[in-house]
Amino acid sequence: VRRWGEKPDELKALLAARKLTLVALSSGSVTLDPAKLDANLALHVSNARFLRQVGGLYLQVTDERPAGREPSADDYRRMGWALTELGRRTADIGVTLALHPHMGALSQSPGDIRRVMDASDSRLVRMELDVAHYAQGGGDPAEGVRTYAGRLLFLHIKDVESPVSGRGPESYRFVELGRGRVNLPAVFQALKSVGFDGWAVVELDEVPDGARTPKESAEISKQYLRGLGLIEF
């Protein structure tokens, strides 16, 4: 957005020339602070409008966890309302909203996620399931697919190592597919069983081994998917 916000047509042309689809724009977090909510929602709507202008599909957001205390029932209720309101505004401009459950966010554990999703309108707030974050938050990603099948918009397919060797018991890092503890074959089987027919985006936040390049990490994940018979190229 910083680079192309004032020239969306130029980015749209570049994507088309490379036969690329902008599946989703990560718009950041929805705030729990009532004093900041209007400006926060306006920012996300602006990002959704830009996304629409460049031919992108979905707006993904995380949700803010209260600092220094455990979430309250009111936090989940207010977040559900804020997400619903944002989903209504983005739908008005032709963009579907998806919540990305995330470590450190209000929607971190399966229970947290359920409370927020139950508090939001299923017609306006969909699920973007990141299978590694869901696993690290204490959930079974395959079960997450089945639980949210009716609201599942798209996925982040990635893996997580936890705990990390030589670090504390709570440590984790995201790794190439097949290098962590996510049962990815079970995830793909669950997607098949619910008839999912949407985007699944292979993601890696950063290269976990400094001796490798991003391209080499991508190749590891590609070969893993090829071994499962999921890609042919």
Tens digits of pLDDT across the chain (233 residues): 999 999 999 999 999 999 999 999 999 999 999 999 999 999 999 999 999 999 999 999 999 999 999 999 999 999 999 999 999 999 999 999 999 999 999 999 999 999 999 999 999 999 999 999 999 999 999 999 999 999 999 999 999 999 998 999 999 999 999 999 999 999 999 999 999 999 999 999 999 999 999 999 999 999 999 999 988 77
Q: What is the pLDDT of residue 192?
A: 97
pLDDT on residue 144: 98
CB distance 106 to 32 below 8 Å: yes
| Alpha helices (H) in the chain, listed in sequence order | 8-17, 34-53, 73-92, 110-119, 131-136, 141-147, 184-193, 214-227
| pLDDT (0 to 100) of residue 231 | 82
Q: How many other β-carbons are positioned within 10 Å of the β-carbon of residue 218? A: 16
Give residue 232's pLDDT: 76
pLDDT of residue 86: 98
Helix axes 110-119, 73-92, angle to 10 degrees: 60
Strands 159-161 and 125-130: unpaired
